[in-house]
Amino acid sequence: MYKIFIKRILFLFPPEKAHHFTLFLLKLVLAIPLIGQIFKASFRFKNPKLNKKLFGLDFENPVGLAAGFDKEGLHYRAMSSLGFGFIEVGTVTPKGQLGNPQPRMFRLPKDQGLINRMGFNNEGVDALVERLKNRPKDLIIGGNIGKNKATPNENATDDYVICFEKLFPYVDYFVVNVSSPNTPNLRALQDKEPLTNLLSTLQNLNNEKSAPKPILLKIAPDLNNDQLDDIVDIVNDTKIAGIIATNTTISRENLKESKNSIEKIGAGGLSGKPVRQRSTEVIRYLSEKTNGELKIIGVGGISSAADAIEKLNAGASLVQVYTGMIYEGPSLIKNINKAILNHLQKTSS
Ligand SMILES: Cc1cc2nc3c(=O)[nH]c(=O)nc-3n(C[C@H](O)[C@H](O)[C@H](O)COP(=O)(O)O)c2cc1C
């Protein structure tokens, strides 16, 4: 139904408009009592064997919504009714900012990918906090935090600290995003010294709390093995809870879309199928390097149940989805969960 009707209509609109329109419709449908219930029942897939305990949190299932889809915390209820086991809101910055001029999201249908240069468009952390005040307690929500474009890297830690402190009572885990390609110089914060400083500052504040929360680091797929080795050292030194691998890539290799149309799109992070393999390689490298000790959330190019299982086999404990859902529709989440259950039953017998 999604691929035959809905996607065809949505793909007639520019991607950002289609995104907002879909979420508007979803909210509308869910507000109609009986239809909302039927809708939820048909997308959710529950089974106690899918429950996962990680970072001290109880996940109903291991499939989450990746950051950037609900940057503003406006749609976490609607998205959870599609069957996600956890939702990551953000990236949020201390002050609201417009992000880059539109158009800033582009489809690559031949590659089943997207290029985006949103640039952390969001209304700021205070607005997000307001929207999370009445959040359901049985849904796991992560807060993905970043810095404002106008904040120089020397002062970046202040921005992350503001977001961390303000969001602390309202989210279950944190993600430190230093890997978006769309904020100038942000990725330089992945270097060993600034990253160690940033994460130890946050972790020290965290440890002063009566109940510290898991802090994860989200990394780019474009890091080389030396840089990944540094990441492992930093995780060990700062004792953060884990890694989200990966964000979008700046690479434009092996695309089916013409060079010309890719050049026309210009700068941005590439997601979806083209990033799948590299993202899995990063997960595998980190997992092998740490003898499976590092806790990893795998994200990047999951557009089928097999892609999700590939990430789990490479060393991820949970997965997240964004672009795959745009191409495959929301039933992807249920399909992945069903396949993971099958996989668990096969591997345990
Ligand atoms: C339009 C768009 C906006 C995104 N915004 C963010 C963001 O604000 N913060 C972040 O950490 N990742 C962001 N991402 C990256 C995704 O969370 C994810 O890491 C990446 O897209 C790879 O997964 P996918 O192939 O399933 O899309 C964004 C991705 C897309 C496509």
Burial class of 232 by CB neighbour count within 10 A (0 to 12, 13 to 18, 19+)? middle
Indicate the helix (H) or strand (E) that contains 177: strand 173-177
Asked whether the beta carbons of 215 and 243 are under 8 A apart, the reply is: no
Residue position matching structure tokens 């990551």: 88
Question: 142 in ligand 1 pocket by Cβ < 6 Å?
Answer: no
The lowest-confidence range among 25-39, 47-61, 215-229, 322-336 is 25-39
Residue 307: its pLDDT value, please? 98
Query: Which whole number is the average pLDDT over 180-201?
Result: 88
Evaluate if residue 319 carries a pLDDT over 90. Answer: yes
Residue position matching structure tokens 């003898």: 291
Question: 308 in ligand 1 pocket by Cβ < 6 Å?
Answer: no
Query: At 349, is the pLDDT very low, low, confident or very high (cuts 50, 70, 90)?
Result: low
Evaluate if residue 2 carries a pLDDT over 80. Answer: no
Encode pLDDT of 213-233 as tens digits: 999 999 999 999 999 999 999
DSSP one-letter code for 2: I
Evaluate if residue 130 carries a pLDDT over 80. Answer: yes
> Cα(34) to centroid of ligand 1, in Å?
33
Residue 247: its pLDDT value, please? 97
Active-site annotation holds for 179: no
Query: At 4, is the pLDDT very low, low, confident or very high (cuts 50, 70, 90)?
Result: confident
> Cα(278) to centroid of ligand 1, in Å?
15
Question: 272 in ligand 1 pocket by Cβ < 6 Å?
Answer: yes
Task: Return the closest-CA partner of residue 270 out of 328, 220, 333.
Answer: 220
